[in-house]
Amino acid sequence: MREILAHILPPDSALPILLIGAVLAVLAVIIALFAVLRGGRQREEMTQRTVDAEARLAELVRMQGEMHGRVAAMAETITSRQAELNHAVNQRLDGMTHRLGSTITEQTKSTHENLRKLQERLAVIDAAQNNIQTLAKDFVGLQAILSNKQTRGAFGQGRMETIVADGLPHGAYSFQSPLSNGTRPDCVIRMPNGAPPLVIDAKFPLEAWTAFREAASPDARRAAAQQFRRDMDVHIRDVSEKYLIAGETQDTVLLFVPSESIFAEIHEHFDAVVQKAQRSRVVIVSPSLLLLSIQVIQAVLRDQRMREQAHLIQGEVGLLMEDLTRLDDRTRKLQSHFLAAEKDVEQILTSTEKLTRRGNRITSLELEAPAKAEQSADAPPPKSVESRTGLLRLRVVDED
């Protein structure tokens, strides 16, 4: 304010000082009036607040009394409800205890029954586990056999030789017999009617197949499949070149696979190998298919032997017919003897019937009718029983 007045009024004048003093005095009066007014308002507000507080306090006292009564009523109600709740809870607990006891008893029986059945199943599982352990040992031995090429070849050849020896007669086959090109096939089956023999090869490339079965990743499995396909191609080509000799062997060679599962998976995953083998006239056979082929060959050999022995059979049939004719003649003669004997027996029966009737008459003393008959024939009447008996004897002799 002084700075403003200093700018407005000249510096040497005394009027600014007077004006400043007047302004300050007016401001002091205004401030005093505001203070008085504010104090009155605060006293009125305090008085009003006191009145309101007393009214609220009275209302709180009244509400406290009402609340006390309500709390007492609620306490009585809660006490009665609690007693009822305790009674209901006790009843429910008794029922639950009874049901829980019966349930526990039934559960105990069921548990004992389940434990008994579990023990039986465990016994079965133990037996199965023992069988599995035995099979595991056998499988380990089989794996050891198949891991060695020479042993593996002997194993496959052994199965093949067993099937052939069980199905064909001795002399219809031979093992490791040489051919004209110096090779020795695993088995040669002699066909009937002078046909070329059938060759069976029992070797099988199992290393790549084992790698294919045990491959853990797709890349390793793909590489093992390619290696197995190459090995099979080479083996099929070798078998076709060694054992397909025109005029000396059949135009088909049997490649024996010593496992049904390997045979099935080859046809499932390596169809190209099977097609190439068929084009090369090499037939891949499993033990069951080899057995079926052996049975067919056995039937052909049996038919050939039947045709070779046909004249002997016809001769035997002629002799059989002669014996049959002779037996027919002798049977007819015996029949004539039986007819004659039957007539003799009928005559004997007739005589026995007459004798029986005579005996019955003698037993019943029916002798009057014969006596009268003799008298009618101009015979002297008997005078006594002895004469009647003699007459009866004469009649019997005459009738006989």
Same domain, 159 and 279: yes
Dihedral of alpha carbons 206, 209, 215, 217, sign? positive
Total domains, the chain:
3
Q: Are residues 168 and 302 in the same domain?
A: yes
Q: What is the per-residue DSSP string for 254-279?
A: EEE-S-HHHHHHHHHH-HHHHHHHHH
Can you tell me whether residue 200 is helix, strand or coil? strand
pTM value is 0.41
In a domain, 399, yes or no: yes
Q: What does the pLDDT read at residue 244?
A: 85
Asked if residue 264 is part of any domain, the answer here is yes
Residue 139 lies in a domain: no
Q: Specify whether 221 is located in the same domain as 303.
A: yes
Whole-number pLDDT of residue 398:
45
Reading the block at residue 373, the tokens are 């008959």
So what's the pLDDT on residue 337? 81
User: Could you tell me if 280 and 181 lie in one domain?
Assistant: yes
Q: CATH number for the domain including 189?
A: 3.40.1350
Q: Give 10-residue mean pLDDT values along the chain (400 residues).
A: 50 61 79 75 79 84 84 86 85 83 83 85 84 72 51 64 83 84 85 82 76 80 84 86 84 85 84 86 87 84 74 76 84 82 84 84 62 44 43 43
Say if residue 303 is in the same domain as residue 167. yes
CA–CA distance, 145 with 134 (Å, rounded to integer): 17
Q: Final residue of a domain: which of 260, 293, 308?
A: 308
Whether 220 is in a domain gets the answer yes
pLDDT at 391: 42
For residue 199, the enclosing domain spans: 148-308
pLDDT at 141: 57
Q: What is the CA radius of gyration of the chain?
A: 67
